Structure 1
Amino acid sequence: MAEHQHYSHPHLLKFHKFGLEGATITCTGCNFPCTDDNPLYSCCTCKFYLHEQCFDAARMLIHSLHPAHPLTLFPYPTYKSGSFICNLCNKSGSGFCFGCTTCDFDLHIHCANNNNNETALAPNIIKIKAHPNHPLHYLSKPPTHDDKGSRTCDVCGTGCESDIPTYRWAICDYDAHLGCVSLPETGKRQDHPHELKLLHVNPFETFECDVCRGTILQNHCMYLCKSGCDYGMHVKCVLAKVTEKAPMNDMQFQVDMFELQNHMKMNQMMIDTMSGYKYYEHFR
Structure 2
Amino acid sequence: MTLTAQPRTLAAPTPKKSVAGRSPALIPLLLGLPALLIVIVSQGYPLANQLIMSFQEFGLKQQFGQPADWVGLDNYAAVTADPVFWVVLVRSLVFCFACAGLTMAIGVSTALLLTRLTKTVRILVQSAMLVAWATPVLSSLTVWQWLFNTRTGVVNWLLVSLGFEQFDGFAWLLEAGSFFVIAGAVIIWMSVPLVMFMVYASLTQIDGEILEAAQLDGATGWQRFRHIIVPGIAPVLMLVGLLQIIWDIRVFTQISVLQDSGGVSADTNVLGTYVYQIGLGQGDYGAGSAVAMIMLLITLIISWGYVRSLVKQGNVS
**Going by fraction, where is strand more abundant, 1 or 2?**
1
Superposition TM-score, scaled by structure 2 size: 0.21
**Going by fraction, where is helix more abundant, 1 or 2?**
2
Q: Which has the larger radius of gyration?
A: 2
Superposition TM-score, scaled by structure 1 size: 0.22
Structure with bigger RCO (C-alpha 8 Å, 6+ apart) = 2
